[in-house]
Amino acid sequence: MISQLSTDADELGRYVTDALAGAGGMELLRDALVDPGARVPIEKILAQFGVWELDPHADAAEFEACAAVVRAAGSLALPYPVCERLAGRGAGAGVLLVAHEGTNLAAHADLDLDWTAVDLLGRGYSVARSGSRPMQSTLGSFVSEVDVVAEGRESGGDRRSEAATLMTLQGWWILGLLERCVADTAQYVQEREQFGRRLAAFQAVGFGVADMSIAAQKLEELAKYTVWSQSTNDAGTALVDALTLRAASLESAEVILRGTHQFHGAMGFCDETDVSLLSRASHLVRRLPMGVEQTFQRMTEAVLGQGLDGPFAGIQAVV
């Protein structure tokens, strides 16, 4: 077994990370928070790296490359629907993740893309209306309303593959964001001193950062497995696996972001601190289209129906 991304994917991820840093890094998000229109040029920045030529639906190699790209994007909470565009089919297309027919809230739905939508179980929707501007909200920056109508089976209502692809990529996006939070927190507690000692010297702090790191590692391993599953398994299994990744990513986010805020103290609430902005941006995935418990509920229903693959799945009792 191989549990490492391909060298090519790794290199692409590093390249995109460096290039985005050169293009402004976290300032890209700060600029967009002031002026949502600042999101639009990001599309061209990514185009320079050939990102829009990647197709996760094509083969395993391209899926891994997409995963590495969105991980890099997530580490900056890049204010552009990278996952949604990569998961969409066709140039200029994007697919949103929604909860149900009717009105939903979705990030970046106001951007001028050829939008469709899917829900967590792979039902397809057409977009009847999308908001013209994002709402004014601290935790909902770039979010707008979108009205969706269920597609009939004859017009492609079963879009499990797109739903699974989108959820998998969003899992990698949030992984990048959470890994950045762990790294920033580890650095902060080594620099900040109180009571004559670095915060890192206090055992409770070290243990807390360890818990955050382990949550990120568990998520990373699951994210890799889920990418492999998308290119290997049937649509039903791939969707269940993507659902498990989504649910696990929301669970990891709670642990890591709670720790991030706790160990940064008041600095972690200030907009000049990157983790404050990363925390705010995380809600675009953590809450939309539904939160952790509802997501686990959907996942449970899928697992009860489909099972969850493993060496002992469906084993008849040996002893």
Partner 1 sequence: MLDYTESPDLLNLRVKLREIMRQTIPSGFLGAFTYDSADLEVAENFCKELGHQRLLAMAWPKEFGGGDASAWEQMVLREEMWANHEPRGAQYMGINWVGPVIMRHGTPEQQQKFLPPISSGEVIWCQGFSEPGAGSDLPALRTAAKKVPGGWTINGQKIWTSYARMAQWCFLLARTGPAGGRKSGITVFLLEMDQQGVEARPVPSMLGNHHLNEVYFTDAFVPDAHVLGEVGDGWTIVSDVLAFERVGIARYARCERLLTEAPQALGESWADVPQSLEVRWAKALVHTRQARLMAYKVVDKQERGVVDPSDVAAYRIAVTTLDQEVAEVLMDLVGQMAVGTEDVSRHFERAVEDHWRYAQASTVSSGTLEMQKQLVARSLVGR
Q: Which residues of 209-241 are buried (b: 16+ CB within 10 A; e: fewer)?
A: beebbebbeebbebbbebbbbbbebeeebbbbb
Whether 173 and 210 have beta carbons less than 8 Å apart is answered as no
Ordered DSSP codes for 302-315:
HHHHH---STTTTP
The structure tokens listed for 304 are 């009860």
Exactly one of 66, 107, 127, 200 binds partner 1 (CB under 8 A); that residue is: 200
Q: Does 224 bind partner 1 (CB under 8 A)?
A: yes
**Closest to 54 (Cα-Cα) out of 70, 66, 42, 69:** 66
Q: Does 221 bind partner 1 (CB under 8 A)?
A: yes
The structure tokens listed for 245 are 């990744």
Q: Where are the alpha helices (DSSP H) in 192-291?
A: 203-232, 235-264, 274-286
Q: Does 242 bind partner 1 (CB under 8 A)?
A: no
Q: Which is nearer to partner 1, 178 or 222 (CB)?
A: 222
Residue 42, burial from CB neighbour count under 10 angstroms (0-12, 13-18, 19+): buried
Q: Does 280 bind partner 1 (CB under 8 A)?
A: no
Ordered DSSP codes for 65-108:
HHHHHHHHHHTTT-SS-HHHHHHSSSTTEEEEEESSSEEEEEET
Q: Which stretch binds partner 1 (CB under 8 A): 15-23, 79-87, 128-136, 241-249?
A: 241-249
Q: Which is nearer to partner 1, 152 or 311 (CB)?
A: 311
Q: Which is nearer to partner 1, 20 or 215 (CB)?
A: 215
Tell me how far apart the 2 most distant CA atoms of the chain are, in Å: 69
Exactly one of 95, 203, 269, 278 binds partner 1 (CB under 8 A); that residue is: 203
Q: Which is nearer to partner 1, 196 or 310 (CB)?
A: 310
Exactly one of 31, 55, 145, 211 binds partner 1 (CB under 8 A); that residue is: 211
Q: Which is nearer to partner 1, 144 or 226 (CB)?
A: 226
Q: Which stretch binds partner 1 (CB under 8 A): 90-98, 273-281, 283-291, 308-316?
A: 308-316
Q: Does 225 bind partner 1 (CB under 8 A)?
A: yes
Question: What is the footprint of partner 1 within residues 95-154 (CB under 8 A)?
Answer: none
Q: Which is nearer to partner 1, 92 or 307 (CB)?
A: 307
3-state secondary structure of 118: strand
Q: Which stretch binds partner 1 (CB under 8 A): 127-135, 162-170, 219-227, 269-277?
A: 219-227
Q: Does 275 bind partner 1 (CB under 8 A)?
A: no
Q: Does 267 bind partner 1 (CB under 8 A)?
A: no
Whether 125 and 119 have beta carbons less than 8 Å apart is answered as yes
Residue numbers of the site for partner 1 (CB under 8 A)? Answer: 1-6, 9, 60-61, 64, 186, 189-190, 200-201, 203, 205-207, 209-211, 213-214, 217-219, 221-222, 224-225, 227-229, 232, 244, 247-248, 251, 293, 296-297, 299-300, 303-304, 307-308, 310-315, 317-319
